């Protein structure tokens, strides 16, 4: 997703109490930052924050880390998070957002962080062959996630892209994940998961594009 430059984003992020500008300093120490023993869930590529802002406020007993690489995206996400928590009359005490390159994610997370779930929503499909290693579900990335995921941890993945989805099923199997659930039409799937629709998801549904989803565990 492309987004216009937001001149206010960097300043607001730096002033936010739930934005982390130096995530490498917290490798193995995220639980200390949250100051509790609640499970930690992770969203990779949080975009404008429509998903994580709702998920985190609905689940106060779970800690969340949301990662993106673009200040403008994170600036919008920060405002959405503040809006959701304000409506719920809650403090933003179970979420942190950070700017980081997901290809280097092992520099900021380790087994000590005991990550129990990853969400990947509508990531870039990188359809050209030479770029496919950049996919967030590629075997190269999945092997990295295994280095910090807790035993029994799950990855929740959804996309509109058929090629990415079918390839991802194979990626998960090749790296030893157990693909527990698969659907090629999430909207009409009953009891698949408690879904929170993203901005992308609503747009694709309006275009008649079916959403594909899976749950994989390690």
Q: What is the CATH number of the domain that holds 40?
A: 3.40.50.150
Question: What is the reported pLDDT for 1?
Answer: 57
* Distance between CA atoms of residues 141 and 20, nearest Å: 22
Is 1 inside a domain boundary?
no
Q: Where do we find the tokens 């193995």? A: 28
Bridge partners, residue 215, by sequence: 156, 181
The domain in which residue 86 lies consists of: 9-217
**Considering the chain, what percentage of its residues have pLDDT values greater than 90?**
90
Low-confidence ranges of the chain (pLDDT < 50): none
Question: What is the reported pLDDT for 3?
Answer: 75
Is 3 inside a domain boundary?
no
Question: What is the reported pLDDT for 2?
Answer: 66
Question: What is the reported pLDDT for 112?
Answer: 97
Number of domains in the chain: 1
Question: What is the reported pLDDT for 132?
Answer: 95
Own/partner long-range contacts of 189-194 (Cβ < 8 Å, ≥24 apart): 189/213, 193/156
pTM of the model: 0.96
Question: What is the reported pLDDT for 91?
Answer: 96
């Amino acid at each position: 997703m492309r987004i216009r430059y937001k001149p206010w984003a960097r300043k607001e992020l730096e002033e936010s109490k739930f934005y982390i500008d130096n995530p490498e300093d917290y490798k193995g120490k995220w639980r200390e930052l949250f100051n509790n023993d609640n499970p930690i869930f992770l969203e990779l590529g949080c975009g404008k924050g429509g998903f994580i802002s709702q998920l985190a406020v609905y689940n106060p007993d779970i800690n969340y880390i949301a990662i993106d690489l673009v200040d403008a995206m994170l600036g919008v996400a920060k405002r959405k998070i503040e809006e959701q928590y304000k409506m719920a009359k809650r403090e933003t005490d179970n979420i942190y957002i950070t700017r980081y390159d997901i290809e280097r994610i092992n520099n900021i997370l380790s087994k000590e962080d005991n990550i129990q779930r990853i969400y990947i929503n509508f990531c870039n499909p990188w359809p050209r062959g030479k770029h496919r290693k950049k996919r967030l579900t590629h075997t190269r990335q999945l092997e990295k996630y295994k280095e910090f995921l807790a035993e029994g941890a799950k990855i929740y993945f959804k996309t509109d892209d058929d090629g990415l989805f079918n390839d991802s099923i194979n990626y998960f199997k090749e790296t030893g994940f157990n693909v527990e659930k698969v659907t090629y039409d999430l909207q009409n799937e009953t009891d698949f998961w408690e879904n929170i629709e993203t901005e992308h998801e609503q747009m694709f549904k309006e275009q008649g594009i079916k959403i594909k989803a899976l749950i994989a565990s390690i």
